[in-house]
C-alpha cells in the first residue's frame, strides 16, 4: 500500500512564528502516526515579498524543532511552467477571462453598487471569505476583439474564474472529505461560489496561491493536507479547481489557530514573536512542543 503523504508549505515572506510551528509539528505528528511521508514545500510565488534569508530561516527553524523532511524541497518559484500548463488547461475549458481592473477601479465599482444598496435599490454587496468584496464583473463580458487588443497593447491583467460558466459546467453539490486527529473521515459540503470570480492568475505573478497549491499537491502526490482553519474556506475553491483540472482531491484537516494573548491570529504582518526570538530568549524545542500541546 502506498504511504500517506503530508506536506508543510510555508511562504518565505517573513519569519516563522508559533502558528507555523504548530502546523509543522502537527503535520509531522500525523505523518509519524499514520506511517506517512512528510514533504516541505516553499511557497514563494510572490517574488517581491519572498526573500532567500526567510527561506534559510525556515530550514533552520524547522530543523531546530527536530523536524525532518524529504529532499529535494519543492520551491514554487522554480515551477511556473507547471502552473502555466494548468492555466492553459483552464483557458482551454473556457472558464477564465482576463481582468484589467485596478484595485481602485474594483473598489469604485463596488462603492457604486453599495451606494445603490443604501437607497434600497440593491442588496449589500457580498464579500468573499477573506472579507474582500466579490468582483463586480466589470471585465466579464468584454468582446474577444477588445481582449485581444488590450493584451496585445501590453495592458497588465489578471485572469479570473468565470463563476457563471462554472456553475453550468460543475453545478454541484460540491464537497470533500476531512479527517480528524484520530483519522476518522467525514464528508463536508463546500461552496466554491462564495469566492465569486476568483483570481487564478495574478497580475504581478504568473499564477496564484490557489492554482499553485492545487497543482503542487497533485504533482507531489499529497494525500493529506493539514493546514490552518484560516485556509478552510479556500479548500472550497481548491476542490473546484481539482475537478476542472482532473486532479485528485486529498483529504483535509484544518487545525485551530494559535492565538496571541489578545485573541488574535498570529501573523507576520502583526510582528508576532518569531520562533527565532523565542529561541534566543531561551526556549527549547521541548518547551515549544509542550507549549503547543505535543
DSSP string, 168-222: HH----EEEEEE-TT--EEEEEE-GGGG-S-EEE-SSSSS-HHHHHHHHHHHTT-
- Binding segment for ligand GLU among 5-13, 25-33, 156-164, 171-179 (CB under 6 A)? 5-13
Burial class (CB in 10 A: 0-12, 13-18, 19+), 290: exposed
Distance (Å) of CA 285 to CA 25, 124, 250, 288: 11, 49, 30, 5
Cell numbers 523532511: residue: 69
Min dist. Cβ of residue 66 to ligand GLU (A): 20
Residues 256 to 275 in contact with ligand GLU, rule: CB under 6 A: none
- Binding segment for ligand GLU among 8-16, 45-53, 79-87, 279-287 (CB under 6 A)? 8-16
Q: Is 4 in the site for ligand GLU (CB under 6 A)?
A: no
Beta bridge partners of residue 42, listed in sequence order:
75
Residue 60 CB neighbour total at 10 angstroms: 14
Task: Count the residues of the shown chain that bind ligand GLU, applying the rule CB under 6 A.
Answer: 7
Q: How many residues does the chain have?
A: 294
Q: Is 113 in the site for ligand GLU (CB under 6 A)?
A: no
SS3 268: helix
- Residue 160 has phi, psi (to 5 degrees) of -115, 150
Q: Is 42 in the site for ligand GLU (CB under 6 A)?
A: no
Angle between helices 18-33 and 52-65 (to 10 degrees): 50
Q: Is 44 in the site for ligand GLU (CB under 6 A)?
A: no
Q: Is 24 in the site for ligand GLU (CB under 6 A)?
A: no
Q: Is 239 in the site for ligand GLU (CB under 6 A)?
A: no
Cell numbers 493536507: residue: 225
Min dist. Cβ of residue 211 to ligand GLU (A): 12
**Which residue number, 28 or 231, has a Cβ lying nearer to ligand GLU?**
231
**Which residue number, 158 or 231, has a Cβ lying nearer to ligand GLU?**
231
**Which residue number, 99 or 266, has a Cβ lying nearer to ligand GLU?**
266
Interface characters, 192-231, with ligand GLU (x: CB under 6 A): ---------------------x-------------x---x
Distance (Å) of CA 66 to CA 25, 29, 205, 228: 9, 12, 34, 21
Sole binder of ligand GLU in the list 43, 55, 61, 197 (CB under 6 A): 43
Sole binder of ligand GLU in the list 9, 21, 58, 95 (CB under 6 A): 9
Q: Is 11 in the site for ligand GLU (CB under 6 A)?
A: yes
Q: Which residues bind ligand GLU (CB under 6 A)?
A: 9-11, 43, 213, 227, 231
Amino acid at each position: 500500500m502506498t504511504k500517506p503523504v503530508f506536506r508543510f508549505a510555508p511562504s518565505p515572506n517573513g519569519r516563522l512564528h508559533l502558528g507555523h510551528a504548530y502546523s509543522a509539528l502537527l503535520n509531522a505528528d500525523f505523518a509519524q502516526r499514520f506511517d506517512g511521508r512528510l514533504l516541505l514545500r516553499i511557497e514563494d510565488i510572490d517574488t517581491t515579498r519572498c526573500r532567500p534569508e526567510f527561506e534559510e530561516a525556515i530550514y533552520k527553524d524547522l530543523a531546530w524543532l527536530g523536524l525532518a523532511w524529504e529532499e529535494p524541497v519543492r520551491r514554487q518559484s522554480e515551477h511556473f511552467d507547471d502552473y502555466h500548463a494548468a492555466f492553459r488547461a483552464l483557458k482551454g475549458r473556457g472558464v477564465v477571462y482576463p481582468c484589467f481592473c485596478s484595485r481602485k477601479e474594483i473598489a469604485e465599482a463596488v462603492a457604486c453598487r453599495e451606494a445603490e444598496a443604501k437607497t434600497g435599490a440593491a442588496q449589500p454587496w457580498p464579500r468573499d471569505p477573506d472579507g474582500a468584496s466579490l468582483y463586480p464583473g466589470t471585465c466579464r463580458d468584454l468582446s474577444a476583439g477588445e481582449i485581444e487588443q488590450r493584451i496585445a497593447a501590453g495592458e497588465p491583467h489578471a485572469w479570473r474564474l468565470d463563476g457563471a460558466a462554472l456553475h453550468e459546467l460543475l453545478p454541484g453539490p460540491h464537497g470533500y472529505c476531512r479527517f480528524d486527529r484520530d483519522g476518522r473521515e467525514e464528508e463536508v459540503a463546500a461552496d466554491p461560489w462564495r469566492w465569486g470570480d476568483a483570481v487564478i492568475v495574478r497580475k504581478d505573478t504568473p499564477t496564484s496561491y490557489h492554482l499553485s497549491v492545487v497543482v503542487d499537491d497533485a504533482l507531489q502526490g499529497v494525500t493529506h493536507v493539514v493546514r490552518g482553519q484560516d485556509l478552510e474556506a479556500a479548500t472550497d475553491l481548491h476542490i473546484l479547481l481539482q475537478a476542472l483540472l482532473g486532479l485528485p482531491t486529498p483529504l483535509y484537516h484544518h487545525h485551530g489557530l494559535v492565538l496571541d494573548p489578545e485573541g488574535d491570529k498570529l501573523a507576520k504582518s502583526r510582528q508576532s514573536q518569531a520562533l527565532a526570538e523565542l529561541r534566543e530568549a531561551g526556549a527549547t524545542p521541548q518547551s515549544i512542543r509542550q507549549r503547543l500541546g505535543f
